Amino acid sequence: MTATAAPISELERSTMRRVAWRILPFLIVCYLIAIIDRGNIGMASLQMNEDLGLTAKVFGFASSLFFFAYFLVEVPSNLAMQRYGARIWIARIMVTWGLISAGTAFVTGANSLYVMRFLLGAAEAGFFPGVLLYLTYWLPAAYRARMVAIFMVAIPAANFIGSPLSGLLLSLDGWMGMRGWHWLFIIEGIPAVLLGIACLFVLTDRPEQAKWLSDEQRGWLIQRLASESAKKTAIGHMSLWKLLRHKDIWILALIYSGASAAGSTMSVWAPQLLKTFGLTSMEIGLVNAIPYGIASVLMIVWGRSSDRTGERRWHTAMTMLLIAAGLLMTLFTSSLPATIVMLTMVLVGAYSMKGPFWALVSGWLSSSTAAAGLAAVGALANLIGGGIMVNAYGAIHDATGSYAIALMPLATLCTIAGIMVLVIGRKRQREQAQMAETATVK
């Protein structure tokens, strides 16, 4: 179902331009650092696994603990942000995860790595859903897919930048008596602490407090957001535990888990996969950056397309089916060029899906449910996608020795997710049409 865009006034254009330039660049940099700190374990594993004697199964379990902790803490963290405000809470999140990420340099074996990955997941858990909630305070519905896509370009951009950077840091091996992977964790953890402190000075909690907007701009934005909030009817206010029992929350989480699993699995395991072609650490970092660079561009294009047409369902479903197609390619070819194509298809699908999907979700949730609802969908998806699939890949690879077979559960999940978003989206369209018809009769 598409929507025709209404003419945009100069006041709206100037307000949204001001809002976008004020909050998005800073949040993008913060999220870029978050993704680097979350995924740098993949590049670190090129040295760390041998040093600590980690098998693929053990490494997969350690990596997955991040997502289990994320699941446990994500919803409470978002509720805490509503209470304390984005400025203070996002600062707390970033300082905490930066210290823990840097501390991972001092693990001595599997058990200490388990502890640090779990703590990192708990520390970072509220950042992404917190920012999504924060953006709903500032962005009218017509801007959300493109703005979320621009914000989330930090994910592939982080890997585009982080892979070569991590490869370079691994080359510091032996400096001051420390291994390269030690320096990788320490140096890449420091920026999060500094940016966390900067949050206290850069972020503004709500439009009502935005002194950097004119009175006219502030009044327009407050009125527009209030008007949209009053019109929402789907999945209304309910308690947290009732929300977690709502079938639509689980359906949305299952849909998103495909993209979450694809991004997380590639972040953790792609360096190991590329290592099988005999590449050096620096070469792995450079080759691994190629798919992320392409995904960085295409996810913005796809988000703009979704906003321009007002279409969310097919824009979400097609990306999931692209992931599945890329993963199925691994059954038929194993050359380096084909592997790069496969990684590109998977990552373009995983990241292009995010803008349209989160715009779809935020449109279904009422304002009173948004904080817990956005976090619940993200938390459940991370548990299914990151926690289970990243772990499953390591276990299946250890048992079979085949990365292609290890990727098949993920291909199945993405296929199911693509079909589900088409089905539930069509159902929503029918419900909305019936509601509109009933309102017209009245």
Domain ranges (residues) in the chain? 12-226, 246-435
Cβ neighbours for 10, distance < 8 A, ≥ 6 positions apart: none
CATH superfamily of 12-226: MFS general substrate transporter like domains (1.20.1250.20)
- pTM for this entry: 0.73
pLDDT tens for the 442 residues of the chain, in order: 444 445 678 999 999 999 989 989 999 999 889 888 988 998 999 999 999 999 888 998 998 898 888 888 877 887 888 888 888 999 999 999 999 999 999 999 999 999 999 999 999 888 887 888 888 889 887 887 678 777 877 777 887 888 889 889 999 988 999 999 999 999 999 999 999 999 999 999 899 999 999 999 999 999 998 887 776 545 444 455 566 666 777 888 888 888 888 988 888 888 888 988 998 888 998 998 999 899 888 988 898 888 888 888 899 999 999 999 999 998 887 799 999 999 999 999 998 998 888 777 766 665 555 556 666 787 778 777 777 888 888 889 888 888 889 999 999 999 999 998 888 777 766 765 665 566 555 5
| H helices present in 232-353, as ranges | 240-244, 247-275, 281-309, 313-329, 336-352
On whether the CB atoms of residues 362 and 374 are closer than 8 A, the answer is: yes
Q: Measure the CA–CA gap between 367 and 149, rounded to whole angstroms.
A: 21
What one-character-per-residue DSSP string does 20-34 give? Answer: HHHHHHHHHHHHHHH
Q: Measure the CA–CA gap between 226 and 290, rounded to whole angstroms.
A: 42
Cβ neighbours for 113, distance < 8 A, ≥ 6 positions apart: 52, 54, 62, 104, 107
Q: Measure the CA–CA gap between 411 and 428, rounded to whole angstroms.
A: 26
On whether the CB atoms of residues 188 and 180 are closer than 8 A, the answer is: no
CA 273 to chain CA centroid, nearest Å: 22
Does 246-435 match 12-226 at the fold level? yes
On whether the CB atoms of residues 60 and 395 are closer than 8 A, the answer is: yes
The per-residue b/e assignment along 199-238, b for 16 or more CB within 10 angstroms, e otherwise, is beebbbbebeebeebeeebbebbeebbeebeeebeebeeb
Instruction: Spell out where 10-160 has E strands.
Output: none
Query: For the chain, give me the number of helices (H) and strands (E)?
Result: 19, 0
CB atoms within 10 A of CB 84: 14
CATH number for the segment(s) 246-435: 1.20.1250.20
Residues 52-91 have pLDDT tens digits of 999 888 998 998 898 888 888 877 887 888 888 888 999 9
Q: What is the DSSP letter of 384?
A: I
What the block records as the tokens of 300 is: 């913005």
What the block records as the tokens of 404 is: 């292609």
Q: Measure the CA–CA gap between 362 and 385, rounded to whole angstroms.
A: 20
Span between the terminal Cα atoms of the chain, in Å = 23
CA 93 to chain CA centroid, nearest Å: 16
Q: How many residues does the chain have?
A: 442
| pLDDT of the residue at 242 | 62
